[in-house]
Every structure is written in C-alpha cells, then in structure tokens.
Homo-oligomer: A and B are copies of this chain.
Amino acid sequence: MSRQILRSDIDQMEKRYRANLINSLTGFKAINLIGTVNAQGQTNLAIFNSTVHLGANPPLMGFIQRPVSVRRDTHANILQTKHFTINHLHKGIMEQAHQSAARYDADVSEFEATGLTPYFSDTLPAPYVAESHIRIGLQFRQAIPIPLNNTILMIGEIIEILLPETLLSKDGYLDLEAAGSLTGSGLDGYHQPQKLERLSYAKPDQSISRIPFLQ
C-alpha cells in the first residue's frame, strides 16, 4: 500500500526514527573511510557516507562534515595538515570500518582501536588504510559552510590514487565490484552490489546499447 508522508509527519517523528528514514532517502550511497593526521602526528580514521564527486578536471571530491559544535577530529585535522585520504570499504574490513564511528577519546587513534593499519605514501602526510583496495589521497582545497544546518562541504583535490592495476579498464572505468567495494543504506546498512549493465552515452533519437564492464 502506498504511503504519503508530509513535512508535518516528519517533524513529529522520534529523533532516531527520523534519522533512519531521512538517511535512507538518497538511495544507496558511497561509504568510505577518511584518514587524517593532526599537527602532532596523531592519526584519525572515520567512516563517512556522504562523499560526492564534484568534477574530473580539476579532479575534486567532497564530503559533508557534520556541525563542529562538538569535537570533530576529521575536520580539525584537515584544517591543520591540509590533507586527507578516502579509502573504499570491502567486506573483510566492514565491521572495523563501522566501529571507527565510535566516539573515542581524542588521544585514541581509530587505527589502533579498530585494528586497521595506517599506510603512508611519500605524497601526503595523511594515512591511508593498508587493508583498503582503492585509496585516494587528497589535498584540502576549500570548506564551504552550509548555513541551513551548520554542516560543511569539505573539498579536496586528488593528488594520488592507489589501486590494483587489474581493476582499471582501458577506458578509465574502475571495476568496483572486483574491488569488493560496498554500498550503504540508511545509517547502518551494508550491501554488496551485483552488476546489471554499463550503458552507452545517451543521445536523442538513438537507442542505448550495452557496453562491457571491463574493456
């Protein structure tokens, strides 16, 4: 049966119920671990489900930072050391990644607390997750405030990509399924995607054709 939920219904929802529902509405979303380090060398790792592609040239990615009315290590560290990493999840590190969301004391690294391994390249100071298969190193470019709810769009420019050679198609497409990358629903759902199709570039008065995932 179809259900209509209006704004007045949303306002009356219990807080956790509303968070679950509204977080489900975007559909399946990217879930990634963001690695940072502060000026004293203390590492931090946090799970985010709000990473977004902003553009390919220059190569920009962003994520939504929740209000900094309480301590937010990821945000503070990026402002201090100007770099962060984005690391894909896979099934083998799903529970450790989820656990990184716990509110640890500031002097505890989520790497140690969850048992994930920091990996440092020569390109940037922020730590990667050694266990992750697809890893992106970014230089912080801009923090754009969203006054409507005090969140912040944090933007980085990609300066390094680490990935298994075999995942990369001749046309630049990355086989995320072969990497085992996961997708998320709501606040706490984890899913493994299964290929349907890659579809050709859409043009008016021309029908779509299927293209191979790996070329």
Interface residues of chain A, those whose CB is within 8 Å of chain B, are 1-7, 10, 13, 15-32, 49-61, 64, 86, 88-89, 91, 94-95, 98-105, 108, 113, 121, 123, 134, 136, 141-142, 144, 146-149, 151, 153, 155, 157-166, 168-169, 171-174, 176-177, 181-183, 185-204, 206, 208, 211, 213
- How many monomers of this chain does the complex have? 2
B174 touches A21 (CB 8 A): yes
Query: In the complex the two chains form, is A182's CB within 8 Å of B196's CB?
Result: yes
Q: Is B201 touching A188 in the complex (CB atoms < 8 A)?
A: yes
Chain B nearest Cβ from A120, distance in angstroms: 13
A192 CB, min distance to chain B CBs, angstroms: 5
A191 touches B202 (CB 8 A): no
Do A176 and B59 have beta carbons less than 8 Å apart? Answer: no
Task: Kindly list the 4 A-B residue pairs having the minimum CB-CB distance in the complex, ordered from nearest.
Answer: A20-B172, A191-B193, A24-B174, A17-B172
With contact pairs A55-B151, A144-B146, A204-B103 given, residues A28 and B161 touching in the complex (Cβ less than 8 Å):
no
Which among B149, B165, B196 is the interface contact of A2 at CB below 8 angstroms? Answer: B165
> Are A171 and B58 in touch, CB under 8 angstroms?
no
Q: Distance (Å) between the CB of A11 and the closest chain B CB?
A: 8
